[in-house]
A and B are shown apart, each in its own frame.
Chain A
Amino acid sequence: MIDWNRFNWPKIIGVMHDIESLTNIPQCRMMSAHILEEATARCSDGQLKYVGDTEIGCDFIGCDGLRYESKSTQGLIKKKGPTTKKITLKNYYGKCLGEPEQTFDYMIAFDSTKNTVILADWDHCIENGDTEDAKYVTELDVNRCEVIAKDVNYVAIGFDAQQKYNDFVSSCIGKIVDEKEFVMMDDPSAIIKRVPLEGTLETFMMVA
């Protein structure tokens, strides 16, 4: 059995807040999830091992031999109603193939607004699961979840993760001789209109 009280939750939730700005950059979302998962494993008092880099649909192996998946969402636990916000269990990136094969035994779900962490087993996740476009999503019944950390008083380092990422990108590219800033031509030959595929008539009239 994993003893959730042995986790350093103030540090884990602190990391989650330190890297929050990365979740606003689409290409960094995977990276921010990875950082949180690494932090969770390293703050687990040796009870979780991060395996997300080699396994699909499973982020940790526990010392109990069970598989754990991590998800984090702002406002996960809704103010009203017994269920959480929708959590994507599987994104098929194309045609949704329905209920996914079991890849974990428990889901560790972080609410970055309430600084609370809940635990749900696979059956619970699947019971409330449904297809949504190319995704298979679920809503957890909060009353059935085990609350493993609640209203955590977190300890953040307080760095600018977005700046760190930008610095990292720049350091990978190195110095460019005679690098020029982008300047739009006075009379661009092509004006690209972003016509939404679907929308209201008023929206279409604005862009058509």
Chain B
Amino acid sequence: MKLIDDYLKQDDVNALNSLHIEYAKVHWIGAKSNPEKNALTKLVHSTKSYVKDPVLGATAWYNVRPVDPVWHNDILSYCDKYPINNLPEHTFIYYMRSPDSGGHLEFGGAGIKEDWRMDVTVEPIPNRLVYFDAFMTHRVAPYEGNRVSIGIVWWKITPDRYEEQKIDEYNVLERVWK
């Protein structure tokens, strides 16, 4: 897991904050699509340098007030089964708003008797980027206030819950998880 604080320049933060897009949807950003389309595509493209293998494109989505923050990994949010030979490397989280209290990112899972979790948690600090192994099960701790983050996963192939996506396209897709 890696944390980068003050990730974007202030101009890019401002542009991201004033962006006029479909927040309730998933944004497909092809690896060879135009990074300058909007502030979100610029952010997403900037994270590609942390990925080693060639990729087809990324899904990016906004997390605003999750109804029921449960343990999950983002591969299985997009795929019915693991793309065994084409697993994505990381889940990226970029924080835009921090809540009044709580809302840390926790790593762990559902145990037989009770949930287990790692000691390490990530505080949601605006303009912080964190990335970790896409396999890692995580969840958001309960919080009060407004917490906004953007999730990003770079895919080697199109996640199986979607129609085939192209490397040079930017598309707005439906969310395929609850």
Contact = CB atoms under 8 A, between A and B. Distances in A.
Contact of A195 (B20, B24, B65, B148): B24
Given A201-B17, A201-B96, A208 B64 contact: yes
Given A205-B64, A208-B24, A208-B65, A200 B18 contact: yes
- Please report whether the interface of chain A is mostly helix, strand, loop or mixed according to DSSP: mixed
Contact of B19 (A197, A201, A208): A201
B133 interface: no
Nearest to A208: B64
Contact of B148 (A197, A198, A199, A205): A205
A204 interface: yes
A200 B17 CA distance: 8
Interface residues of B, number: 14
Given A204-B62, A205-B64, A205-B148, A198 B19 contact: no
A193 to B, nearest CB: 10
A201 B146 CA distance: 11
B22 interface: yes
B65 to A, nearest CB: 6
Contacts, number: 29
B21 interface: yes
A198 B62 CA distance: 13
B143 interface: no
Contacts of B64: 204-205, 208
Q: Which of B23, B24, B146, B148 has the most CB of A within 10 A?
A: B23
A134 B19 CA distance: 24
Contact of B20 (A199, A205, A208): A199
29 contacts: A195-B24, A197-B22, A197-B24, A198-B20, A198-B21, A198-B22, A199-B20, A199-B23, A200-B18, A200-B19, A200-B20, A201-B17, A201-B19, A201-B23, A201-B62, A201-B96, A201-B148, A204-B23, A204-B24, A204-B62, A204-B64, A205-B64, A205-B65, A205-B146, A205-B148, A208-B23, A208-B24, A208-B64, A208-B65
Interface of B: 17-24, 62, 64-65, 96, 146, 148
Given A198-B20, A200-B19, 10 more contacts: A195-B24, A197-B22, A197-B24, A199-B20, A200-B18, A200-B20, A201-B17, A208-B23, A208-B64, A208-B65
